[in-house]
């Protein structure tokens, strides 16, 4: 089939094509993420609790929607076409966010368009990487680690740039126009990504799913478009009404478990072992994403209220960041660490010493714990309620290494354990589980929500550090659980590989 012959010709060029459009898509997404909680708190007047829950619900929708997009790519429009359609819809969503209004329904509708675009794009981009390197486990781990680095190149640039655009335009024009100018930059990033793909499209002509090899079915395309419009409206309602958001998350979580139950029951011995192993790792990923969601919620507000934004070394001032820019520390660290880990995975694989993914997950939780303990002890390095910027640097460093070991291999885990015929759909199921945990992460962040009227850093600092210390303890517990199930995971892997 065409989906397997092309990668043998030039996997490197095909892989770089997907990486580049993913880079620009993530430029748009993370540029928006860096500002969205601040926008709701500072511009729309939301309290911490509502901002955390709205963004948690939006992140959940953004992660859940690829379950549908993966199926559309596998069975309806084609993996490659669906990914490109998603990029176009995403550019429209960011364009809507650039409209200068503070109407909440308009904002929620624009976020709904982003939800739809992400659903069409995300699972299919990852599935294309799987198709390029299918059958080579060590190269899949390495490829997805580099792919994850491409994500973070886009994230780092946008999370440094969009806050600067916001501050610069607000300084000149005032009236909050800077927020919308920054969102417009996110839209431009998607347009650049699409233009780049156009010039590199020849490397992707034979990569995709079966529907990519056939002419577009206009009736199916129309059905997808109608469904997308309906999903935009539903997403806006979920963001507006908290009870609906909780119902949605609970329903999505139950659906994932039922899907796994059905597939495990129908599969043969090897498929069943692989699916059970994938389910165990997905459950662990759910806990990781609760930690992950703190970056754009509790840690973002911590940076706003309790971090000295000036970087100094030996008493000499180096530079000053705005609070939103601290989120860029995560992708910066990941860019530094990704090549090292990718090289280590490839070398270990060549020498027959590659650690199982389950062991990497356990190690990942351990270093995440170290990162949160650093934040938890930030009070010890604070002056008048403001802690050093370097606390954020090192906390993000350990956290980011943990992210690479857990979330960075989440897609590789699906590629390794799930049968190829359900690859896109199961990529989507992985994102559904991740989305549920994003909303749970918003709930956890609310344990550190600061009541309106409290602005003294000395009062807010203990609220945040208590939460971070407890999250560090929770990460230690996750590490112990991951180590406890490791022998069982090794046996499931052997069965899946036909060795037992």
Per residue in 228-248, pLDDT (tens digit) is: 999 999 999 999 998 999 998
CA 402 to mean position of chain CA atoms: 14
- pLDDT classification of 5: cutoffs 50, 70, 90: very low
With contact defined as beta carbons under 8 Å apart, do 302 and 464 qualify?
yes
105-141 per-position pLDDT tens digit: 999 999 999 999 998 888 787 777 777 766 656 566 6
333-354, pLDDT tens digit by residue?
Answer: 988 887 787 787 777 777 777 6
Helix and strand element counts for the chain (H, E)? 19, 2
pLDDT tens, residue by residue, 411-466? 666 667 777 666 656 766 777 888 888 899 999 998 888 887 788 888 899 999 99
Average pLDDT, the chain: 83
Q: pLDDT value at position 125?
A: 79
pLDDT score of 9 more than 50: no
Strand partners, 310: 320
Q: What is the mean pLDDT of residues 302-322?
A: 89
Tell me the mean pLDDT in the region 163-186.
Answer: 89
Whether 1 is covered by a domain: the verdict is: no
Structure confidence by residue, pLDDT tens digits, 373-408: 999 988 888 888 899 999 999 999 998 888 888 776
Residue 52 lies in a domain: yes
Whether 5 is covered by a domain: the verdict is: no
- The CATH number linked to 299 is 1.20.1250.20
Residue 3, domain member (yes or no): no
Concatenated DSSP letters for 202-249?
A: GGGTT-S-GGGGS---HHHHHHHHHHHHHHHHHHHHHHH-HHHHHHHH
Structural domain tally of the chain?
A: 1
Confidence of residue 81 (pLDDT cuts 50, 70, 90): confident
Give the other-Cβ count within 10 Å of 209's Cβ.
26
* Residue 213, domain member (yes or no): yes
Average pLDDT, integer, range 309-323:
87
Residue 495: CB atoms within 10 A of its CB come to 17
Instruction: Judge whether 498 and 270 are in contact, CB under 8 Å.
Output: yes
Share of the chain above pLDDT 70, in %: 88
For 137, 148, 355, 500, the CA distances from 350, given in Å and listed in that order, are 11, 21, 12, 23
Helix (H) / strand (E) containing 324: none
Helix (H, G, I), strand (E, B), or coil: what is residue 10?
coil
pLDDT at 4 over 50: no
pLDDT tier at 6, thresholds 50, 70, 90: very low
Could you tell me the CA-to-CA distances from 10 to 23, 84, 203, 206 in Å, in that order?
20, 21, 8, 11
User: What is the pLDDT, as a whole number, of residue 256?
Assistant: 78
Q: Tokens standing for 341?
A: 């880990």
Beta partners for 319? 311
Enter the pTM of the model. Answer: 0.83
Decide: 462 and 379 in contact? Cβ < 8 Å.
yes
Domain limits at 161?
A: 10-496
pLDDT at 112: 95
Is 46 a member of any domain? yes
Where do the DSSP E strands lie in 330-422? none
pLDDT at 3 over 60: no
Q: Return the pLDDT at 179.
A: 92
């Amino acid at each position: 089939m065409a989906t397997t012959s092309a990668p043998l010709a030039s996997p490197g060029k095909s892989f770089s094509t997907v990486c580049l459009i993913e880079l620009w898509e993530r430029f748009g997404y993370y540029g928006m993420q860096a500002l969205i909680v601040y926008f709701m708190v500072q511009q729309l007047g939301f309290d911490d609790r509502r901002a955390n829950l709205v963004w948690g619900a939006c992140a959940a929708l953004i992660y859940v929607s690829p379950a549908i997009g993966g199926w559309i790519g596998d069975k309806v429009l084609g993996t490659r076409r669906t990914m490109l359609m998603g990029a176009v819809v995403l550019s429209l969503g960011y364009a809507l966010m650039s409209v200068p209004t503070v109407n909440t329904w308009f904002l929620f509708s624009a976020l709904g368009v982003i939800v739809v675009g992400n659903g069409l794009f995300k699972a299919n981009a990852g599935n294309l990487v799987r198709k390029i390197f299918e059958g080579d486990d060590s190269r899949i781990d390495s490829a997805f680690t580099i792919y994850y680095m491409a994500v973070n190149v886009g994230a780092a640039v946008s999370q440094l740039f969009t806050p600067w655009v916001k501050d610069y335009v607000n300084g000149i024009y005032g009236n909050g126009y800077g927020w919308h100018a920054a969102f417009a930059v996110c839209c431009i990033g998607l347009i650049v990504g699409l233009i780049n793909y156009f010039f590199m499209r020849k490397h992707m002509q034979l990569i995709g799913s079966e529907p990519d090899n056939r002419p577009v079915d206009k009736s199916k395309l129309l059905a997808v478009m109608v469904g997308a419009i309906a999903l935009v409206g539903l997403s806006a309602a979920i963001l507006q009404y908290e009870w609906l958001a909780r119902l949605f998350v609970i329903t999505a979580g139950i659906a994932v478990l039922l899907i796994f139950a059905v597939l495990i029951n129908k599969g043969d011995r090897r498929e069943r072992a692989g699916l059970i192993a994938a389910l165990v790792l997905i459950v662990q990923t759910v806990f990781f994403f609760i930690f992950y969601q703190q970056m754009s919620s509790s840690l973002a507000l911590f940076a706003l209220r309790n971090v000295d934004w000036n970087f100094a070394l030996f008493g000499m001032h180096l530079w000053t960041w705005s609070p939103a820019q601290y989120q860029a520390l995560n992708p910066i660290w990941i860019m530094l660490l990704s090549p090292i880990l990718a090289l280590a995975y490839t070398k270990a694989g060549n020498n027959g010493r590659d650690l199982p993914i389950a062991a990497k997950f356990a190690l990942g939780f351990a270093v995440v714990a170290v990162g949160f303990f650093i934040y938890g002890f930030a009070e010890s390095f604070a002056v008048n309620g403001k802690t050093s910027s370097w606390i954020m640097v090192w906390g993000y460093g350990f956290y980011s290494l943990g992210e690479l070991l857990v979330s960075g291999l989440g897609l590789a885990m699906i590629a390794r354990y799930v049968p190829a015929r359900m690859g896109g759909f199961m990529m989507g199921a992985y994102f559904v589980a991740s989305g549920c945990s994003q909303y749970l992460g918003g709930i956890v962040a609310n344990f550190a929500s600061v009541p309106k009227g409290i602005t003294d850093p000395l009062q807010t600092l203990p609220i945040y550090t208590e939460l971070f210390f407890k999250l560090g303890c929770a990460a230690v517990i996750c590490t112990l659980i991951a180590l406890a199930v490791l022998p069982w995971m090794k046996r499931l892997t052997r069965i899946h590989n036909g060795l037992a």
